Structure 1
Amino acid sequence: MTDMISIPTLDAATMPAYRAAPADSPKAAIIVIQEIFGINAGIRRKCDTLAEAGYLAIAPDLFWRIEPGISLDPDIAPEMQRALALMGQFDQDQGIRDIEAAIRFARSAGTAKVGAVGYCLGGRLAFMTATRTDIDASVGYYAVGVDGLLGEKHAIAKPLLLHIAGDDGFVDRETQAAMHAGLDDHPEVTLHDYPGEDHGFATEFGQRRSDAAATLADQRTAAFFAEHLG
């Protein structure tokens, strides 16, 4: 079952979200954290796939405070530019508070554990979710700007998995090296590199997708959640 729902926020407002529920009782919940393109077809498909695997998947519309209902296609140049502009307007600290609201909502639904998975901007927010909330397990795909967040790594108390695109146009080699230097020895963090892959390689649809790397990363993510969410 899929539907749009409203989630109470920490500041007494309501945030729209896409929800995909499994046929039977969910074994856990997973918050799906959007790219800069909003809750588009690819993010909805990510949720649907998680529901097919037995998870309650919730994708909060994190751009709702700017403009609710954003759904953009990165393969269309004006929509890519619109997405970049939205990212510039987005308050990431407020976004984490909205993700916290989604986590609380998921826990109130009766799921024993809650994980998170994010892409691009969402990958960065997945890292921040691992440092700033009580999430049970987090996964970030091609997270941007993590080198600037390494001062928070001491707060990572639950497992975190990061997928790094080797030829990421938004995450240069210096940043990737800083991520490894800062996180390789962290007991809760696992990093996987994908040589030759560009940003967005695990997207569900469109020109950015790289099937082999996406399949491998998604298999690793599935195993990670199976281990840590039960």
Structure 2
Amino acid sequence: MSVSLKKTTFDGIPGYVGGPKNAPGIIVLQEWWGVTEEIKDQAQHLSTVGNYRVLIPDLYKGTVGVDAEEASHLMNNLDFKTAVEEIKTAAEWLRETGSPKVGATGFCMGGALTFLAAEHAGIDAAAPFYGTPPAELGHPDKIKVPVQAHVGEDDAFEGFADVKTVSGFVDKINAAGGNAKVFVYPGEGHAFMNSGEKIKEKMKTGNLPYGKKESQDLAWERILSFFKEQLG
């Protein structure tokens, strides 16, 4: 049975929640567009297939970018320190309301925020997709929770989400005694997890091609196995 998401508010922060109340929780973090139908679908898939409780904090407070220019504006105006505090609040809320353990995953901007959550938000495991945090906020040597990162081989967002940048960030985690792994997906570019089925035509993924189903299926298999091992 497919899990449905419901609007919620936790400590004054809006979001969407779904899944069994006492199950392990997973915070799902948005791309630069905002909380789109795509992000909701991904959260619902995690909950339905993995039997997790999922929570999407709405970091833009209801705004969704309709094109790449607006999405870029929204992301650039987001206070990342405040966003991390809201993710920390999300993790605390999940625990206080029944989830024994809490993980996080996110895509693009949400991937960068997932790395920050691993450092600052008190979560138990992190699975970031194609994104790394700014150097002034993200300190890989301080990340001690298990991390499973994902990146497309042909991701062209140099310095943010390309293989060299993501792999280098993961290497620094491990060099400091952490537990991190990165999976590289051949032939895939940025935002390869987006199916595009519910994204408005003009939004798409910033004029990037959608990922191949076999790559998406493999990533889901890996992330579900990872969270099963780390969260139960």
TM range (shorter): 0.7 to 0.9
Q: Secondary structure at the match of 1:16?
A: strand
Q: Structure 1 residue aligned with 2:19, among 18, 21, 34?
A: 21
* Alignment gaps of 5+ in structure 2: 198-208
CA contact (8 A) 1:45 1:204 kept: no
C-alpha separation in 1, matches of 2:143 and 2:133 = 17
Q: How many residues align?
A: 213
Normalised to the residue count of structure 1, the TM-score between the two structures is 0.85
| Counterpart amino acid of residue 96 in structure 1 | V
C-alpha separation in 1, matches of 2:138 and 2:8 = 35
Residue aligning to 1:38: 34
C-alpha separation in 1, matches of 2:125 and 2:152 = 21
CA contact (8 A) 1:165 1:198 kept: yes
Work out whether 1:56 is the aligned partner of 2:59: no
Evaluate the alpha carbon distance shift between residue 44 and residue 177 of structure 1 in structure 2; reply closer, same or farther with a 3 A threshold.
Answer: closer
Residue aligning to 1:70: 63
| Counterpart amino acid of residue 19 in structure 1 | V
C-alpha separation in 2, matches of 1:198 and 1:61 = 26
C-alpha separation in 1, matches of 2:102 and 2:171 = 28
Work out whether 1:160 is the aligned partner of 2:147: yes
Evaluate the alpha carbon distance shift between residue 184 and residue 7 of structure 1 in structure 2; reply closer, same or farther with a 3 A threshold.
Answer: same
Q: How far 1:2 sits from its partner (Å)?
A: 2.2
CA contact (8 A) 2:144 2:178 kept: no
Q: How far 1:191 sits from its partner (Å)?
A: 1.0
Evaluate the alpha carbon distance shift between residue 84 and residue 224 of structure 1 in structure 2; reply closer, same or farther with a 3 A threshold.
Answer: same
Q: Secondary structure at the match of 1:196?
A: coil
Q: Structure 2 residue aligned with 1:121, among 87, 97, 109?
A: 109
Q: Secondary structure at the match of 1:93?
A: helix
Q: How far 1:150 sits from its partner (Å)?
A: 9.2
Normalised to the residue count of structure 2, the TM-score between the two structures is 0.84
Residue aligning to 2:172: 182
CA contact (8 A) 1:2 1:18 kept: yes
CA RMSD of aligned residues (A): 2.1
Q: Which string of whole-angstrom CA distances, capped at 9 and with x for unpartnered residues, describes residues 156-211 of structure 1?
A: 12111110211112134542453354245444111111132100001142542321
Residue aligning to 2:223: 221
C-alpha separation in 1, matches of 2:170 and 2:120 = 21
C-alpha separation in 2, matches of 1:89 and 1:80 = 14
C-alpha separation in 2, matches of 1:112 and 1:44 = 23
CA contact (8 A) 1:29 1:56 kept: yes
C-alpha separation in 2, matches of 1:109 and 1:208 = 36
C-alpha separation in 2, matches of 1:151 and 1:84 = 20
Q: Structure 2 residue aligned with 1:212, among 205, 211, 214?
A: 214
Q: How far 1:136 sits from its partner (Å)?
A: 0.6
